[in-house]
Amino acid sequence: MDTLHLLYIILLTFWFSTIPVAFLTMTRFIRNRKIFVEKDLRRIHNDPIIIFQITTRSATKITVVERGIYSIINAALKINYSNYKISIVTEDENDKQKFDHLKNCEIVMVDKKYNTNAIKKSRALQFAVENRRKNGEDTSKFWIFHMDDESYVTNQTLLSLLKFIREGKGIASEGPIVYPLKFELANPITALAESVRPFGCYDCVSQMKNPPPIHMHGSNLLVRSDAEDLIGWNFGSTLAEDQLFGYKIYEKYGKNALGWHGGILLEQPPLNIKDHFMQRRRWILGSLQNINKFPFWHRFKIAFKLSSYFMGFISGIASAILYVITFMSMLPTSIQILVDQNISNPMIWAQYIISSFFPSFFPEITLKINEMASNNSIYPIDIGPVSILLLFPYIMWLLSYQIGLFLNLKHTRKYPLSKKIILHIQAVFLSLVLGILETFPAFYSIIEYYWRNRMTAIKNYDFYIINK
pLDDT per residue over 295-319, tens digit each? 999 999 999 999 888 888 887 787 7
Delimiting residues of CATH 3.90.550.10 domain(s) in the chain: 36-279
| Cis ω before 211 (30° cut-off from 0) | no
Separation of alpha carbons 168 and 50, rounded Å: 14
Spatial separation of the C-alpha atoms in residues 142 and 135, rounded to whole Å:
12
Pick 43 or 404 by higher pLDDT: 404
Rounded to whole angstroms, the Cα distance separating 393 from 400 reads: 10
In terms of DSSP bridges, do strands 152-153 and 172-174 run parallel, antiparallel, or are they unpaired? unpaired
- First-residue to last-residue Cα distance in the chain: 51
Task: Tell me which H or E stretch contains 259.
Answer: strand 258-260
Cβ–Cβ under 8 Å, residues 178 and 410? yes
Q: If pLDDT is split at 50, 70 and 90, which confidence band does 465 have?
A: confident
Q: With contact defined as beta carbons under 8 Å apart, do 255 and 417 qualify?
A: no
What confidence category does residue 231 fall into, taking pLDDT thresholds of 50, 70 and 90?
very high
- Whole-number Å distance between alpha carbons of 54 and 31: 32
Q: What is the pLDDT of residue 350?
A: 76
H/E element holding 257?
none
Per DSSP, 266 falls in state: E
Work out the average pLDDT over 397-419: 93
Distance CA 233, CA 240 (A): 11
Top-tier CATH class for 36-279? alpha beta
Report the alpha-carbon distance of residue 406 to residue 91 in Å, rounded. 37
- For 210-224, 378-392, 421-435, which range has the lowest pLDDT when averaged over its residues? 378-392
Backbone φ and ψ for 106, nearest 5 degrees, come out as: -125, 150
CB atoms within 10 A of CB 351: 16
Q: Starting at the edge strand that comes first in sequence, how are the strands of the sheet with 84-90 ordered?
A: 105-109, 84-90, 49-55, 142-147, 221-224, 172-174, 258-260
pLDDT at residue 40 tops 80: yes
Reference 81, options 168, 174, 38, 145; nearest CA is: 145
